[in-house]
Amino acid sequence: MHLFQHKNGELYAENVPVKKLVQEFGTPLYIYSYNTLLRHFKAYDEAFDAFPHIICFALKANSNKAILNLFSRNGGGADVVSGGELFRALKAGIRPEKIVYAGVGKTEQEIKSALKSKILMFNVESEDELKEINRVAGEIKTKAPIALRINPDIDPETHPYISTGLKQHKFGIPIEDALEHYRLANSLKNIKVIGIHKHIGSQLTKISPFVDALKRILLLVEELTKQGINIDYLDIGGGLGITYRDETPPDPKQLAKNILPLLKGRKLTLIMEPGRSIAGNAGILVTKTLYLKKGQGKEFVIVDAGMNDLMRPSLYGAYHHIQPVVKSRRGKIVADVVGPICESGDFLAKDREITMIYKGEYLAVMSAGAYGFTMSSNYNSRPGIAEVMVKGREYSLIRKRGTYNDLIRGEILPEFM
C-alpha cells in the first residue's frame, strides 16, 4: 500500500495534490511519501521484532539524505557499495556500527575510509579483496570486521540483469569454496571474521529462493562453528519484490514467517538489506506532456522526463504504471510514452493503453522511488531533477533542481588550447 491515490479524480501525494507540487516545483519531479517510506521500513522492523536484527537500507535504491535520515531516526542502518554511499550514509546520520559495505571492487581508499569510520563489517566478495583489506587494516593498525559474501547458487527467478546468486555471476564466493576462504580469513592477522552474507537478486516475487539460499548458508554456519569460526551476524541481503503491475510478492511478514523458524535458538543478529521493497512504491515521477505526435501506425506522447531521469524501462524493459495526474472521461489511446533524449531507447512505456492526454497535462509514473533518481544521469546535458517529500499536508523540497552551471562544474579548459 502506498499513499499516492486519486481523490475526486485528482492524484494526491498523501494529503497534497500532485498538481500543486508540480506548479510549485516544476517537472520532471520525483515525489516521495514520508508515511509510505516509514510504513515500509516499520513493516520489516515489526515483522522481525522477535529476533535481534538491523535493517540496513540499500542506498543504491535511493540515497537522498532526507530519506536516509528518516530511516536512521527509526533505528535503521545502511548497506553501501562505494565510498560515496558511505559518505552519504554517515552524513545522513546513520551510525557506523549499523553500516555494511558490499561490492566486488572496493578500492584501497574506500577500504581505508570505511575502516576509519568503524563500520560494522565489510561484505567481502573475493580472496584478493580479503587480502587487500587485511593489508590496509594492518597499515592503519586496526582489525577489519568482515563477512564473506557467499554465492549459494540459487536461481532467484527474476530478470537476468538483477539476479546475482548463480555460479556464473561476478558476485560473492562460490559456496563450495566458502570453508577454505573462511579458514584463510581466520588466519589473517588484521581480519576479524564476524559474519556471513548473501544476496541472490532483486525483485524476487517468490519466497522459496530466500528459504533455499538461507538453508544452504545455515549449513555452512554450522560447519564453521564446528571448525571454531564464530558467526555473529547473518546478512541475508535484500531482494523482496514489489508490485509494478500485477506481481504479488511476499511481504516482510511472510518473509519473517518463513525464515524466523530456521533461525530459532541461534545466537545471531540478522541483517537485512532491503531497497526496492521500502522505497519503490513510496515514490513517483511526475512529467509534463510536451507534444503529441502521430507516427506511422503509432502514437507518441512526448513528455519532459527521459531515460536519463528514469532508466528502468530502457535498461530492463521494466514496466512502470503511468496514469494521468487529473483523471478524465476521455477515450483511450495506445501510445509510446517517450522522452526528449536523442535515442530510440528513450521511452517510459511502449504500446501502452492510456487515457487520451493533451499538451501541458501531467502524467505520473508510478513505483519510481527505488532505482529512479539514483540511476539518473545528465545525458543530453539535462540537469538533475528536483525531489520533494510529502508528509500529510506538509511538503518540502529535498533536492533542488540542478542548474546549467551544475552541468559544467569541474570542467577545465586546458592551457595548451
Choice from 14, 45, 153, 273 touching ligand LLP (CB under 6 A)? 273
Query: For residue 64, how many C-alpha atoms fall within 13 Å in the half-sphere facing its CB?
Result: 27
Nearest residue (CB) to ligand LLP, 21 versus 217: 217
Chain centroid offset of residue 266 CA: 29
Q: Per-residue x/- marks for ligand LLP, 148-177, CB under 6 A?
A: --------------x---------------
Among residues 228, 296, 342, 414, the one annotated as catalytic is 342
Residues within window 63-102 making contact with ligand LLP, judged by CB under 6 A: 79, 102
Kindly state the DSSP code that residue 382 receives in the 8-state scheme. -
Alpha helices in 26-142 (DSSP H): 34-47, 65-73, 83-91, 108-117, 127-139
Pick the piece of the chain touching ligand LLP (CB under 6 A) from 184-192, 231-239, 249-257, 285-293: 231-239
Distances (CA, A) of 386 to 36, 254, 304: 19, 35, 13
Residues within window 334-373 making contact with ligand LLP, judged by CB under 6 A: 370-371
* 277 is a contact residue toward ligand LLP (CB under 6 A): yes
- The number of residues making up the chain comes to 417
* 58 is a contact residue toward ligand LLP (CB under 6 A): yes
Choice from 11, 61, 114, 236 touching ligand LLP (CB under 6 A)? 61
Nearest residue (CB) to ligand LLP, 203 versus 287: 203
- Shortest reach from residue 96's CB to ligand LLP, in Å: 18
Cell numbers 508528509 correspond to 391
Write out the three cell numbers for 392. Answer: 500529510
Kindly state the DSSP code that residue 24 receives in the 8-state scheme. H
Chain centroid offset of residue 392 CA: 24
Q: Could you give phi then psi for residue 18, rounded to 5 degrees?
A: -60, -35
Report the alpha-carbon distance of residue 408 to residue 417 in Å, rounded.
18
56 is a catalytic site residue: no
Choice from 2, 40, 106, 199 touching ligand LLP (CB under 6 A)? 199
**Contacting residues toward ligand LLP, per CB under 6 A:** 58, 60-61, 79, 102, 162, 199, 202-203, 237-240, 273-277, 312, 370-371, 375
User: Active-site residue numbers?
Assistant: 342
